Amino acid sequence: MSAVDLVLTPFHTTAVVAFGASTSWGEVVGFVTGALCVWLVARQNPWNWGIGILNNLAFFVLFLASGLYADSGLQVVYVVLALYGWWAWLRGGDRRSPLPVSTTTRPQWLGLLAAGVAGTALLTWVLSTWTPSTVPLADAVTTVLSLLATWGQTRKKVECWWLWIAADVIYVPLYAHKDLWLTAILYLGFLGLCVVGLRAWTSALRVDRAERVAA
């Protein structure tokens, strides 16, 4: 057995069997770190980025083994964005102050739309041509939506929650289709946490605007 196998075997070991479907320890780790990460994001706690990196490492292996190649590669990009987001939240505001919640501008939306359409088309082609993926379009759409949402999250754009909600609506049935039932349940929970985060960030935005007017 190789060194890689020695590391990954415990990760793929069954942790629990429910309703005829087995759940690996890797999926359990992804579930716990993912739920904690989104909860911290909703509370604007910068430690979400550190927990998120642990979540990315867990899902990288899990999705690769499940044939979700775009989602697996996405985890690598997430780590890079997490490092940037961690810095931006702490030092990305005026005079290196903590970054406040803001709204997405019209030019930014146009850029996101163009990137979304082009990225989805390109990734669908790549997955269909170069991988044995059985769900190239769904994998591509969720990957691109997640990247756009993560960009908004790094800049504390309140609308990032709507992009996460759109991605999660597709992720839930996609992961169920791949027999990743615990992950599907996790993303169902993410939908609820996204609503909480959207309300919290919208409230923070209103308070910030009121304080600026009062000043």
Angle at 121 between CA 118 and CA 125, to 5 degrees: 140
Contact predicate 152/163, CB 8 Å: yes
Per-residue model confidence as pLDDT tens digits over 56-75? 988 888 777 777 787 788 88
Q: Directed axis angle between helix 48-65 and helix 3-12, to 10°?
A: 100
- Show Cβ contacts of residue 102 under 8 Å, excluding neighbours closer than 6 positions: 155, 156, 157, 158, 205
Res 22 pLDDT > 70: no
| Cβ(14)–Cβ(24) below 8 Å | yes
- Please report which helix (H) or strand (E) contains residue 58, including its range: helix 48-65
Flag whether pLDDT at 40 surpasses 50.
yes
